[in-house]
Amino acid sequence: MDQTPFPFEFLSGQTYNTKGEKTVWIKGATSGWEKRQATLQLTVFADEWNYVKPLIFYRGKGLGHSVLREMREYDPWVVVKFNPTAYANSGNMVEWLQEQLIPVLEGCPTLLAVDLFAGHRTEEVLNTMKANDITVSVIPAGCTSIVQPLDVSINRSFKALLRVFIISYSSGLSFCSVLVV
């Protein structure tokens, strides 16, 4: 299991000035998308079956007419949650364990590989895992890009595709055009 934060606008590498200038202007949006953030949490199993739905944390409270209207568009195969920062924390980690992971494990002993993120290692999270026969394997600092299955195989490709889609979308291309590229 791993989380990957992603913005809705990518501004890296886009400038209006020559490299080396003292003042560098970046291309910014006025749409508000630059303030919107989310974190995607994915879980993979060794047998390749998809037992746990992808989870997205959006920044916010999940209230208001525009959010309720938007919620109707969410894919039923994705769990959507809201929190003030759009980042995972120990509270929503325990919630994910109880609502999604533990029910599909059916009491079987499980090895769960996680990175050093503090929300994975709180007393509440570790106690919840221990009580449900989940052994935690913490990937050492600096090693996630080498041995974390999601970082190695999925997250990097996902972010690259997301970058292409967002840049293409902002320049007027449709999602179908992006898939063809």
Q: What is the model's pLDDT at position 102? A: 96
Average pLDDT in the 20-26 region? 57
Question: How many domains are contained in the chain?
Answer: 1
Q: Average pLDDT, stretch 25-31? A: 51
Domain with residue 169: its CATH number is 3.30.420
Query: What six digits make up the tokens of 2?
Result: 């791993």
Print the domain residue range for 72: 2-180
Supply the pTM of this predicted model.
0.71
Q: For a pLDDT cut of 90, what percent of the chain falls above it?
A: 20
List, in sequence order, every beta strand (DSSP E) within 13-171.
37-42, 55-59, 79-83, 110-114, 134-138
Q: Which two tokens stand for residue 178?
A: 């992006």
The answer on pLDDT for 174 being more than 50 is no
Kindly state the DSSP code that residue 5 receives in the 8-state scheme. E
- Give the residue, 96 or 3, on which the prediction is more confident: 96
2-7 vs 37-42, strand pairing mode: antiparallel
**SS3 call for 82:** strand
User: What strand order describes the sheet that includes 37-42?
Assistant: 2-7, 37-42, 55-59, 79-83
How far is residue 137's CA from residue 119's CA, in Å, rounded to a whole number?
14
